[in-house]
Chains A and B, each alone.
Chain A
Amino acid sequence: MYDFAYHKPANVADAAKLLAADGEAKALAGGQTFIPVLKQRLNKPSAVIDLGGLGLSGITLAGNTLTIQAMAKHGAVAASAEVKKAISALATLAGWIGDTQVRHRGTIGGSLANNDPSACYPAAVLALGATIKTNTRSIKADDFFQGMFTTALEPGELITAVEFPLPVEKSAYEKFRNPASRYAMVGVFVAKGPAGVRVAITGAGQNGVFRHAEMEAALAKNWSPEAIVGIKTPADDLNSDIHGSAAYRAHLIGVMAKRAVVAAG
Chain B
Amino acid sequence: MPQVSLTVNGKAHKVEVEGRTLLVELLREKLGLTGTHVGCDTSQCGACVVHVDGNSTKSCSMLAIQAEGCSITTIEGLAKADGTLHPMQEMFREHHALQCGFCTPGMVMSAIDLVKMHPQGLSEAEIREGLEGNLCRCTGYHNIVKAIAAAWPLMHGHAMPAAAE
Whether A and B touch directly in their complex, counting CB atoms under 8 A apart, is answered as: yes
Binding site for B on A (CB under 8 A): 1-6, 8, 28, 31-32, 35-36, 38-40, 48, 50, 52, 75, 98-102, 104-105, 181-182
Query: What are the 5 closest A-B residue pairs judged by CB atoms, nearest first?
Result: A99-B133, A6-B19, A104-B55, A1-B20, A99-B132
Assess whether B19 is in contact with A5, with CB atoms less than 8 Å apart.
Answer: yes
Binding site for A on B (CB under 8 A): 2, 18-20, 22, 41-44, 46, 49, 52, 55-58, 60-63, 65-66, 68, 110, 113-114, 117, 130, 132-134
Task: Specify the chain A residue showing the minimal Cβ separation from B17.
Answer: A6
CB contacts between A and B, total, < 8 Å: 81
List B contacts of A32 (CB < 8 A).
43, 61
List 17 additional contacts besides A31-B61, A40-B41, A105-B55; criterion CB under 8 Å: A3-B18, A3-B20, A8-B65, A8-B68, A32-B61, A35-B43, A35-B60, A36-B61, A38-B20, A48-B63, A98-B133, A99-B134, A100-B56, A100-B114, A100-B130, A104-B56, A105-B62
B42 → chain A closest CB, angstroms: 6
Assess whether A3 is in contact with B110, with CB atoms less than 8 Å apart.
Answer: no
Task: Specify the chain B residue showing the minimal Cβ separation from A52.
Answer: B66
With A32-B61, A38-B20, A52-B66 in contact, do A100 and B113 touch (Cβ < 8 Å)?
A: yes
List A contacts of B117 (CB < 8 A).
100
B22 → chain A closest CB, angstroms: 8
